Chain A
């Protein structure tokens, strides 16, 4: 994804991999807070996957603060089977919780632009940024 964004002609102020384990430190929401507080970050790309509630928390936060910069999200795992761990120990759908569908819905409800497919992220953030000008993006 970072390569795509770079290929789209956008630099990244910071890229953060928050970690795929079930229990970890910095959350997606905290990370987003930091990015929104950074005057040189003009757009944010969030990459989420199934399992946990990080993306929902980030979506709630976005809905509450209504950021001025565009936020693009990619949520992977639409076709992941339930109750099977997918690579990362945190990537697990249980009892219908943490599904990609639910996360995409939460993101859309918060006004986030959701990239339909992994290969469209670069294009999506570029379009979103051209709408508000200034080329610089960030990946979380």
Chain B
């Protein structure tokens, strides 16, 4: 099996409707990850990538039974996104965002204390752990691994857009 995630992990994507969110969510879906919903404040009720979008994490997790959240929110608001997920008691939160202000992260660390959440990142490349789950056969995984040798180009894109 695996740690942190398995084939039953149901993922919501905070910031799914944004550039990075769309990009990574599409990859995750291709890989077989069970992405069940997106969260973007103000876009609740919309549909993105065939998944429902909610205004809040609590709403999305409540409606879909999600037990993990991926965060693709830009640095300035990434900490609030993490804290929202922590407050909604999502068991696993993975933040991809790079350049989250250090003082913001101290607030997040504080929110994590005594919480039910395990946070991976920020500035995490964990998407592959997410990719690894689901119905992907070892052959497709191998293809994936070969095609995407260290994700330098991806990161480059991700970063230049994030600035």
Contacts and interface: CB of A to CB of B under 8 A. Distances in A.
Interface in A1-37: 1-3, 6-7, 11-26, 31, 34-35, 37
Interface of B: 1-5, 93, 95, 98-100, 102, 105-106, 108-109, 112, 118-129, 132, 138, 141-142, 145-146, 148-150
A17 B129 CA distance: 8
Contact of A34 (B4, B95, B123, B145): B4
Contacts of A2: 128, 145
Given A1-B150, A26-B118, A15 B123 contact: no
Contact of B2 (A1, A14, A21, A31): A14
A87 B154 CA distance: 15
Contacts of B138: 11
A99 interface: no
13 contacts: A6-B142, A13-B3, A13-B132, A15-B129, A15-B132, A16-B120, A16-B124, A17-B127, A19-B122, A24-B122, A25-B112, A26-B119, A39-B1
A7 B129 CA distance: 18
A89 B146 CA distance: 28
B112 A89 contact: no
Interface residues of A, number: 32
Nearest to B3: A34
A20 B99 CA distance: 10
Contacts of A11: 138, 141
The main secondary structure of chain A at its interface with chain B is loop
B4 A14 contact: yes
A38 B2 contact: yes
A22 B1 contact: no
A41 interface: yes
A40 interface: yes
Contacts of A14: 2-5, 129, 132
Nearest to A33: B3
A84 interface: no
B142 A13 contact: no
B119 A13 contact: no
A71 B67 CA distance: 30
A88 B105 CA distance: 15
B103 to A, nearest CB: 9
